[in-house]
Chains A and B, each alone.
Chain A
Amino acid sequence: MSPSSSPDRAAADPLRPGDHVDAPEPAERTGSGPKLGFVGWLRFLWRQLTSMRTAIVLLLLLAVGAIPGSLVPQRSSDPNGVIQVRADNPDLVWLYDALSLHDVYSSPWFSAIYILLFTSLVGCVIPRLAHHWKAMRALPPRTPARLSRLVGFQTVAGDASDLDRADGVLKKLGYRTTRYGDSVSAERGYLRESGNLLFHISLLALILVVGLGSGFGYNGQRLLVEGRGFANTLSSYDTFSEGQWFDDATLEPFSIRLDDLDVLYETENRNAMGAPLDFTAHVTVNEPTGDRAAQIKVNEPLRVMGADLYLISNGYAPRISVRDAEGELVYDEYTPFLAQDDLMTSLGVMKLPDGLVEQLGLRGFFYPTAVQLDTGALASGYTDLLNPVLSLQAFTGDLGLDEGIPRSVYALETDAMTQIAGGDSGTEALMLAPGQTVEIPGGLGTITFEDVVRYGVIEVHVDHTQTPVFWIAMVLVASLLGSLLIPRRRLWVKAVPAGLELAGLARGEDPTLERAVDDLARRLRPPQAETDDSQPPRRTSE
């Protein structure tokens, strides 16, 4: 495990796993090695786990293990896809569950891979840290007996009296130097190993902070029609998910109102007529310190008391009122319709369990700019409100709301109902422009399309790991740059009867070593030679 114990390695060399290319070749194995005791076995296993080979294999496994999560819908990123896939392949559901294919990134097998990888990482980094700590204090290694076998070997004029100058030049170039007899030994680039260690440690820190920190955050969504607001309490959210250590007493005491949702559409480019160019939610924020106006845009979240507010989707919310046969108002609400395509053809559902003599369900499309297709059917021709039309199917019967089963507000369960308008009912679907009123078939009453406004879905997100994760990532990049780009090298200057011999040795990738030796040679040439700079250094390489 400790290559540095081998006699030909200097204390300043970075410590590497046994199968690193820079580590000394392992000693020849004899046919029947000594029997390993229990401790011997443990040590053997640990050495395997912390070898370079294991790191490669685990990294490749991690890459391969991440693939299924991009093929099979994941609960975390695509819950609707999960439902779809399970409905389409009922025979395979057991397999999806057995292999956690809908939760790949929190599955036992995926976790096993990265936990092993990070164990290996810790096992690899700790000894190297200890070693590097000492190496930073160690003297540069002894000057080799024969410099001529090393990189950039050359001889410049000079003698032992120039060694002090050489020492000074090297120090100025950032080398750590020491004297061995008639030679200067210099080394630089310790930061390469520091960078490498810091890089691996920040990987570890990243995983820990992301894993632990996200347990304290939460994430909630709330749909708001223009003019409405909500307070940041658990019960105001349409959907809410929280980390395992989240405490709802920590919910920030603010409330927010959506005053206005501005949408800007393309009107000039023929290839993209009606494509949205900009969404802006104008809001009023109420904090303990008072009210303020603010805005939320895509890519520009709003920060309120440490929480981030995003505008994640939007659409149209027609306001519909219903009167009974006597003309009594029994229903008057904005209903958010969900966009089904790029032209905002939107689908919505209304349920009226009370007020009329029968339960009434309405389902239909809203077209912001209705156009008639050749088939006679309606479609949306543009995204903005140029010719808004509402087309509704009506159902009477049991809405199924009393059974205690939670029902989606966006779906109408029509199995126990009779269709009285649209579809095969024999009666036309109810068509309404804003301000229009129509009779409900069967004399139930009337429906009025009062007006239409927009709604926005606001997501509130609190994640205390954001800032630390950002800074760890910055350290990670900086240390990676250091570790890959700082050359680590040794240079020697040795006084021999023929002059000063110079040569270098790379520790790790170092494409510029030769140039560094040449540069040193130029600086060491005695002052009188400097006037004649065109003469190349005398090369005496073998």
Chain B
Amino acid sequence: MTTDQWDAAALLAVYSAMAIYTLAFIAFAVDLARRSAAKPVMTRELVGAGASSAAEPAMEAPVAGAGRGARIGYVLTVLGWGVHLAGTLLRGIAAGRVPWANMYEFALTGIAVIVGVFVLSRLWRDLTYLGVFITGLAVVFLGAATVNFYVPPVPLPPALQTYWLVIHVFVATLATGFFALGASLSILQILRERRANGFLRSLPGAEQLEDLSYRVGVIGFIFWTFTLIAGAIWAEHAWGRYWGWDTKEVWTFIIWVLYAGYIHARATRGWRGSRSAWLQIIGFTAIIFNFAVVNLFFTGLHAYSGLVTN
């Protein structure tokens, strides 16, 4: 097959993945609607000596409550993810390299990682109640990226031909996957804190959501720290200095500092709870901004959107 044929196959897979994610989204939404109509489920709130881990057994509770809609949604998500991964892989084959060298490809891989973190988190904890967020996000972002950012596969400019592209960018997308999950949990936490009616009733308590969100966010932070350092080493190789306050460097730094602020807030009396949750949401907003706005509208050395801007 030629490059263009591989790429056409990749696009077909991406469109199919979007369709399947949409179905999953509907299934999750129906499940939520059903949940809000159902009788209140007893959610066990945090009890005990104030140690967060006392809540551990209670966290398993909502698993059992996951309805048929949620199960169908989850299965569809896994299916959509498989197709999405295939599409990403085909795109990589079409381009003859890793599929994350321009904005369209970042989006493809980044969203695959976000959904992947969600899908695999099941091995650790049942987070099916996040399905609506994750599939919704995947559909919207994949749609926006294919419509706005699509470019045919082209070879890498010399500055990107290095294993640092493989490491630095992939770890950044991994971090983004965890941050997305953390931010979704934070949103639910804030909602849960405000009201406990409708579907919110069927979710774990706000404190459990906060604990989960923190753990996920911390993993994202570790990856992001690594991204920052790997980026500096790469900049040293490519441009002769490890830090030059280029716009992309500035935003990577801003995001890192925001999350450091979040981690401190979680450990501060008066900030734990919805205040720190807001900080995590702001941090994730900065990530989206960094991807969608900084890449396109800010000038700098990282001009790799693959799009012709002027």
B154 near A66 (CB under 8 angstroms)?
no
A215 to chain B, nearest CB (A): 15
A277 to chain B, nearest CB (A): 6
Q: Is A76 an interface residue (CB 8 A)?
A: yes
Chain B residues numbered 39-73 whose CB sits less than 8 Å from any CB in chain A: 48-49, 51-54, 56-57
Q: Which of B164, B232, B239, B243 is A312 in contact with, Cβ under 8 Å?
A: B239
Q: Which of A60, A73, A269, A513 is B3 in contact with, Cβ under 8 Å?
A: A269
Residue of A nearest to B232 (CB): A473
Given A69-B245, A477-B229, CB of A509 within 8 Å of CB of B214: yes
A53 near B240 (CB under 8 angstroms)?
no
Chain A residues numbered 275-298 whose CB sits less than 8 Å from any CB in chain B: 275-279, 297-298
Given A19-B268, A219-B240, CB of A76 within 8 Å of CB of B49: no
A59 near B260 (CB under 8 angstroms)?
yes
Q: Is B218 an interface residue (CB 8 A)?
A: yes
B48 near A297 (CB under 8 angstroms)?
no
A70 near B250 (CB under 8 angstroms)?
yes
Given A19-B269, A506-B52, A510-B53, CB of A466 within 8 Å of CB of B261: no
B250 near A310 (CB under 8 angstroms)?
no
Residue of B nearest to A277 (CB): B155
Q: Is A130 an interface residue (CB 8 A)?
A: no
Name the A residues within 8 Å of B211 (CB-CB): 509, 511
A56 near B261 (CB under 8 angstroms)?
yes
Q: Is A301 an interface residue (CB 8 A)?
A: yes
A56 near B51 (CB under 8 angstroms)?
no
A269 near B154 (CB under 8 angstroms)?
yes
Name the B residues within 8 Å of A277 (CB-CB): 155-156, 158, 161
Q: Which of B161, B243, B260 is A210 in contact with, Cβ under 8 Å?
A: B243
Name the A residues within 8 Å of B156 (CB-CB): 277
A506 near B53 (CB under 8 angstroms)?
yes
A20 near B153 (CB under 8 angstroms)?
no
Name the A residues within 8 Å of B215 (CB-CB): 509, 511
Q: Which of B51, B234, B245, B264 is A513 in contact with, Cβ under 8 Å?
A: B51
A289 to chain B, nearest CB (A): 24
A271 near B245 (CB under 8 angstroms)?
no
B268 near A466 (CB under 8 angstroms)?
no
* Segment among B129-137, B187-195, B293-301 that sits at the interface with chain A: B293-301
Q: Is B265 an interface residue (CB 8 A)?
A: yes
Kindly state the separation between the CA atoms of A473 and B153 in the bound complex, as whole angstroms: 35
Encoded as 1 (CB less than 8 Å from any B CB) or 0, chain A from 311 to 338 comes to 0100000000000000000000000000
Chain B residues numbered 223-279 whose CB sits less than 8 Å from any CB in chain A: 225-226, 229, 232-234, 236-247, 250-251, 253-254, 257-258, 260-261, 264-265, 267-272, 279
Q: Is A67 an interface residue (CB 8 A)?
A: yes
B53 near A20 (CB under 8 angstroms)?
no
Given A21-B272, A70-B294, A150-B51, CB of A60 within 8 Å of CB of B157: no
A53 near B261 (CB under 8 angstroms)?
no
Name the B residues within 8 Å of A67 (CB-CB): 250, 254
A27 to chain B, nearest CB (A): 14
Q: Is A74 an interface residue (CB 8 A)?
A: yes
Name the A residues within 8 Å of B236 (CB-CB): 466
B251 near A70 (CB under 8 angstroms)?
yes
| Residue from the set A71, A461, A509 with the largest chain B CB neighbour count within 10 Å | A509
Given A59-B257, A151-B53, A278-B158, CB of A19 within 8 Å of CB of B241: no
Kindly state the separation between the CA atoms of A338 and B285 in the bound complex, as whole angstroms: 40
Kindly state the separation between the CA atoms of A476 and B222 in the bound complex, as whole angstroms: 11
Q: Is B121 an interface residue (CB 8 A)?
A: no
Chain A residues numbered 466-493 whose CB sits less than 8 Å from any CB in chain B: 466, 469-470, 473, 476-477, 480-481, 484
B269 near A23 (CB under 8 angstroms)?
yes
Q: Which of A271, A310, A473 is B240 in contact with, Cβ under 8 Å?
A: A310
Encoded as 1 (CB less than 8 Å from any A CB) or 0, chain B from 150 to 178 comes to 01111111110110100000000000000
Name the A residues within 8 Å of B245 (CB-CB): 69, 74, 76-77, 104-105
B238 near A299 (CB under 8 angstroms)?
yes
Name the B residues within 8 Å of A481 (CB-CB): 222
Kindly state the separation between the CA atoms of A412 and B279 in the bound complex, as whole angstroms: 53
Contact residue range for chain B? 35 or more
Residue of B nearest to A507 (CB): B51
B159 near A298 (CB under 8 angstroms)?
yes
Given A60-B261, A105-B245, A473-B232, CB of A298 within 8 Å of CB of B267: no
Name the A residues within 8 Å of B301 (CB-CB): 77
B261 near A480 (CB under 8 angstroms)?
no
Given A150-B51, A269-B154, A477-B225, CB of A53 within 8 Å of CB of B271: yes
Q: Is A453 an interface residue (CB 8 A)?
A: no
Kindly state the separation between the CA atoms of A149 and B48 in the bound complex, as whole angstroms: 7
Describe B's contact surface by its main secondary structure: helix
A52 near B264 (CB under 8 angstroms)?
yes
A363 to chain B, nearest CB (A): 24
A66 near B250 (CB under 8 angstroms)?
yes
Q: Is A272 an interface residue (CB 8 A)?
A: yes
Name the A residues within 8 Å of B233 (CB-CB): 470
Q: Which of B153, B237, B246, B272 is A271 in contact with, Cβ under 8 Å?
A: B153
A300 near B299 (CB under 8 angstroms)?
no
Name the B residues within 8 Å of A278 (CB-CB): 158, 161
B240 near A299 (CB under 8 angstroms)?
no
Encoded as 1 (CB less than 8 Å from any B CB) or 0, chain A from 72 to 85 comes to 01101110010000
Encoded as 1 (CB less than 8 Å from any A CB) or 0, chain B from 135 to 155 comes to 000000000000000011111
Kindly state the separation between the CA atoms of A298 and B156 in the bound complex, as whole angstroms: 12
Name the B residues within 8 Å of A308 (CB-CB): 240
B269 near A21 (CB under 8 angstroms)?
yes
Residue of B nearest to A279 (CB): B158
Name the B residues within 8 Å of A55 (CB-CB): 264
B272 to chain A, nearest CB (A): 6
Q: Is A252 an interface residue (CB 8 A)?
A: no
Name the B residues within 8 Å of A276 (CB-CB): 157-158
Kindly state the separation between the CA atoms of A463 and B54 in the bound complex, as whole angstroms: 52
Residue of A nearest to B59 (CB): A511
Kindly state the separation between the CA atoms of A369 and B115 in the bound complex, as whole angstroms: 47
A463 to chain B, nearest CB (A): 7
Kindly state the separation between the CA atoms of A271 and B246 in the bound complex, as whole angstroms: 29
B247 near A301 (CB under 8 angstroms)?
no
Residue of B nearest to A463 (CB): B241
Kindly state the separation between the CA atoms of A300 and B234 in the bound complex, as whole angstroms: 10
B234 to chain A, nearest CB (A): 8
Kindly state the separation between the CA atoms of A514 and B247 in the bound complex, as whole angstroms: 45
B122 to chain A, nearest CB (A): 16
Q: Is A502 an interface residue (CB 8 A)?
A: no
Name the B residues within 8 Å of A463 (CB-CB): 241
B63 to chain A, nearest CB (A): 16
A59 near B264 (CB under 8 angstroms)?
yes
B154 near A461 (CB under 8 angstroms)?
no
Q: Please name 26 pairs of A and B residues whose Cβ atoms are closer than 8 Å in the assembled complex, sorted by A.
A: A21-B268, A52-B268, A56-B264, A59-B260, A69-B250, A149-B48, A219-B241, A271-B152, A271-B153, A276-B157, A277-B155, A277-B161, A278-B161, A299-B234, A301-B240, A308-B240, A310-B239, A470-B233, A473-B232, A476-B229, A481-B222, A484-B222, A506-B52, A509-B211, A510-B51, A514-B56
Residues of B participating in the A interface, judged by any CB pair closer than 8 Å: 3, 48-49, 51-54, 56-57, 151-159, 161-162, 164, 211, 214-215, 218, 221-222, 225-226, 229, 232-234, 236-247, 250-251, 253-254, 257-258, 260-261, 264-265, 267-272, 279, 294, 298-301
Q: Told that A19-B270, A76-B245, A513-B53 touch, could you supply 12 new A-B pairs with CB distance under 8 A?
A: A20-B269, A55-B264, A60-B279, A71-B298, A149-B48, A151-B51, A269-B154, A299-B161, A466-B242, A480-B225, A484-B222, A514-B53
Q: 8 closest pairs, A vs B, by CB?
A: A272-B154, A59-B261, A52-B268, A298-B158, A271-B152, A70-B250, A63-B257, A461-B240
